Structure 1
Amino acid sequence: MDSKTIVSETIANYEQFVNPAIARLFRFMGLATVEYRAEGYLIEDIDGHQYIDCLGGYGVFSLGHRHPKVVESVKRQLDRMPLSGKVLFNQTMGELAAVLSEITPGNLQYSFLVNSGTEAVEGALKLARLHTGREEFVSTVNAFHGKTFGALSATGRDLFCDPFRPLLDGFRHVPYGDIHAMEETMNERVAAVIVEPIQGEGGIVVPPEGYLAAVRSLCDQYGSLLICDEVQTGLGRTGKMFAVEHFNVVPDIMTLAKALGGGVMPVGAFIARPAVWDKYIVSPFLHTSTFGGNPLACAAALAAVRVIQEEDLPGQAAATGKYFVSCLEQVRKAYPDVIEEVRGRGLMIGIALTKEGAGGVMMSELITRGVLVAYTLNNPKVIRLEPPLTIPVVAVDQIVHAIGESAQIAHSMIDDL
């Protein structure tokens, strides 16, 4: 079958069996092609056209696509035992839980392995209610914690929440970074505060100095737990192994996913301090998962963590990110009517635009120039840049050049946007 036929049939399948709105959107953005293979920081379509992956699967591809050590580990496990029989001990799950205890901050010790970020958040919320016996939670405006009912209740954007109300009771949202609003909301009925150390879908928002530490103190004052959602920020993305390390804070529960699977397998986890795990020790089957912690996913995660450590990917992210932001600042200065701010940590970078309409123009122009990006889900005025942490400087220069040209196009249209 030739590539033209494959593309045509794939789009038809989307229109008839997936979602016609997605098909229209992809076509509108100039993405009427089919991804075919990928390696490192490049994605190639079925016709051989290459794109720099500056979206990185929303943070999944921190190691790049098909990192050889992760692929090799998964192939070995596939030949031995892909899924767990669930009755005997699972070696790879035990090893991964031990490694997570070693690399996470403070005394985070016990892990429950799942398949995604939203599952990790669901588990963390359940654990907080179980341990504290309380029913209320505090989250933040524009937070993103997932789209299952519990995680969606913690998510802070009405666009995603309103169609499914009533959600779970007891969730309140305060402005992110506003410690006074958090102080006014906290009380002895709060089971936990759930917060992203750096907001991802909210627009790559770095909190004010001292904010996370102050939230930690409030939780201690009221006997509430602190859940830090590191699904997008964790495992080197921000220039530290975990974003909480920028703020010298240790949460009671941490959630992980995305990069944990090394860009090869879906896997997530929630990790907690020993005292918080007490009820699960008494009743270990209160929370279970058929596929969570399967040997194939754990083999990928173990290899991914080794690569992150051996190649010092947090260090690479910090250095490359600093260079990237400095270059983007020059573009911002050249087109201040288009770009309002460049912000972020490491290789979690947001380009905040002056007008929402500029986002569509710039994304379309960047795709035309072979650079894949997207805006943040809770803030369409922010284009996110989350390339693989292994991306070379020469590719960063190509991206910056494409962003500059795209900003110039948006500048010429700014009055009509």
Structure 2
Amino acid sequence: MTAACLMTTYQPLALSFARGLGTRLWDQQGREYLDAVAGVAVTNVGHSHPRLVTAISEQAGLLLHTSNLYGIDWQQRLAQRLARLSGLDQAFFNNSGAEANETALKLARLHGWKKGIEQPLVVVMENAFHGRTLGTMAASDGPSVRLGFQRLPGDFIKVGFGDLTALDTVTREFGARIVAVLLEPIQGESGVQLAPPGYLKALRAHCSQHGWLLMLDEIQTGIGRTGTWFAFQQEGIVPDVMTLAKGLGNGIPIGACLARTSVAKLFTPGSHGSTFGGNPLACRVGCTVLDIIEEQGLLENAARQGERLLARLRVELSEHPQVLAIRGRGLMIGIELATPQRDLAARAAREQGVLLNVTRGKVIRLLPPLTLDSKEVEMIVRAIARLL
């Protein structure tokens, strides 16, 4: 197999998979691996779940696409389900997390336009990651993501993640132009960085006070990853806008932007759209994913197994000289190392048969399916301990 005809945007391991089932994958030679990456927080209900196989097969034989020129029943069903689960009111469906964040940024622009703000600003966080489009790159941080793409569109102000003092400073300086705050409840790509307790609640109050939109990127944290449907629910708040993707489709491309009615109605016919967004297949899969999580109690399992995995890692690794910190929530866990370990993912697969991800060069990121059990927790802990 040759990759000569592919653009060199990735550096994949010398490893390719032929099939998957639950938390396991098998390579072309038939070797089995425990998947602690889940396609980067995508296959939340596991690989080849029989309910999803049936839903995809049935829908493929019925209807794949009609476009949004017509009503789509599964799209309406999925929007209702997500609204009920989140406390938000309306949804727009597209094909990816980056597109969902672009939708949120357009809503922020319209919010400013309605208020008569000619040069609106959005507050974003240092070390954030929101996507690879030009707009979402501008909202993201990190020179490796942005290198070669300046000057990026959009007007953003970056503040430290979790730093309310910095927020007060930009409010005094730019408050008349600020229309929204966009952030991840837990920063994933920067190494599973958790905000201080109460930070989201303080942001909610600040945005309400100043008439800004609170926009949460739950692309990685959403759909049960942290032990609740959405991470914001653990702070007892509701945002104005939320974006989703990854786990919503379990591998079928789908993104969603949800908003309160007062914000959603800023869009009018023709002001936004997507050719493939919200097609019958993707939305039926989304509904089926929600069914599986509810029926199998996967929110509770993610919380329980996540606590177990964190506790076991801290017991086994806390005294290791390479380990600086172990943090996470639910089944979203980061192990920060003292020095870069860029070959660790390859070694984990080759030597231990466990798939893991290393982000920012030295943070082991664990994002296993929400179906993980206690024996598999021990397999992950044992594999990482041996590697280090």
Measured against the shorter chain, the TM-score band is over 0.9
Contact 2:220 2:246 in 1 (8 A): yes
Distance 2:9 2:239 in 1: 40
Equivalent of residue 382 in structure 2, options 382, 387, 401: 401
Contact 1:112 1:270 in 2 (8 A): yes
- The one-letter amino acid of 1:272's match is A
- Cα contact 1:93–1:293 (8 A) shared by 2: yes
Q: Which residue, out of 53, 66, 78, partners 1:84?
A: 66
Q: Distance in 2 between matches of 1:325 and 1:145?
A: 26
The one of 72, 91, 98 aligned to 2:80: 98
Secondary structure of 1:279's aligned partner: coil
Amino acid at match of 1:381: K
The match for 1:367 is 349
SS at match of 1:65: coil
Aligned AA for 2:279? N
Q: CA deviation at 1:73?
A: 1.2
In the TM superposition, residue 210 of structure 1 has moved relative to its aligned partner by 1.2
Q: Secondary structure of the equivalent of 1:352?
A: strand
User: CA 1:279/1:388 → structure 2, altered by over 3 Å: closer, same or farther?
Assistant: same
Contact 1:110 1:273 in 2 (8 A): yes
2:40 aligns with: 58
- 1:363-392 residue CA offsets vs partner (Å, 9 max, x unmatched): 23311211111122xx22211000000012
Deviations 1:304-341 (A, max 9, x none): 01111111211100000011111101222341x11111
Deviation at 1:87, TM superposition (A): 2.9
Matches within 5 A, 1:239-250: 239-250=227-238
CA distance in 2, matches of 1:245, 1:81: 35
Pairwise CA distance, 1:21? 7.5
Alignment-derived partner of residue 3 in structure 1: none
Q: What is the match of residue 193 of structure 2?
A: 205
The answer as to whether partners of 1:77 and 1:296 remain within 8 angstroms in 2 is: yes
8 Å CA contact 1:260–1:301 kept in 2: the answer is: yes
By how many angstroms is 1:180 displaced?
0.7
> What SS does the corresponding residue of 2:25 show, helix, strand or coil?
strand
Tell me, yes or no, if structure 1 residue 269 matches structure 2 residue 256. Answer: yes
Inter-CA distance 315–139: structure 2 relative to 1 (3 Å threshold):
same
Q: How does 1:167-246 map to 2 (within 5 A)?
A: 167-186=152-171, 187-246=175-234
| 1:342–1:349 CA contact under 8 A, matched in 2 | yes
CA contact (8 A) 2:344 2:358 kept: no
Kept in 2: contact 1:41–1:387 (CA 8 A) = yes
Q: For the structure 1 residues 100 and 308, does the alpha-carbon distance in structure 2 shift closer, same or farther, using more than 3 Å as the test?
A: same
Alignment of 1:257-406 (within 5 A): 257-261=245-249, 263-280=250-267, 283-335=268-320, 337-356=321-340, 359-368=341-350, 369-376=352-359, 379-406=360-387
SS of match in other structure, 1:350: strand
Structure 2 contact 122–180 (Cα < 8 Å) conserved: yes
Contact 1:137 1:192 in 2 (8 A): yes
Give the unaligned 5+ runs of structure 2: none
Kept in 2: contact 1:188–1:222 (CA 8 A): no
1:397 alignment partner, SS class: helix
CA drift at 1:225: 0.4
User: Residue by residue, what CA displacement relative to the aligned partner does 1:222-275 show, whole Å, maximum 9, x if unpaired?
Assistant: 2110100000000110011100011112110000000000x2411110000001
Distance 2:377 2:67 in 1: 45
How many Å apart are 1:104 and its aligned residue?
A: 0.7
| 1:361 Cα deviation from its structure 2 partner | 4.5
Question: Do the aligned partners of 1:66 and 1:264 also contact (CA within 8 Å) in 2?
Answer: no
Counterpart CA distance in 1 for 2:123 and 2:315 is 39
Letter in 2 for 1:17: C
**Cα distance in 1, alignment partners of residues 105 and 143 from structure 2:** 20
Native 8 Å contact 2:67 2:276 kept in 1: no
Give the letter for the 2:358 counterpart: Y
Contact residue 67 and residue 275 of structure 2 kept, 8 A = no
User: Which has the larger helix fraction?
Assistant: 1
Structure 1 vs Structure 2 CA RMSD: 1.4
Kindly provide the amino acid, as one letter, of the partner of residue 57 in structure 1: G
TM-score of the aligned structures, taking structure 2 as reference length: 0.95
5+ residue gaps in structure 1?
Answer: 1-9, 408-417
Q: Indicate yes or no: 2:111 matched with 1:131.
A: yes
SS of match in other structure, 1:394 = helix
| 3-state SS of 2:91 partner | strand
Partner Cα distance (1:155, 1:214) in 2: 22
CA distance, structure 2, for counterparts of residue 126 and residue 38 of structure 1: 38
% identical aligned pairs: 39
Match of 2:145 among 160, 171, 178: 160
> SS at 1:80's partner residue?
coil
Q: CA-to-partner distance for each residue in 1:11-34, whole Å, 9 max, x for gaps?
A: x2x1x2114584xx44xxxx4232
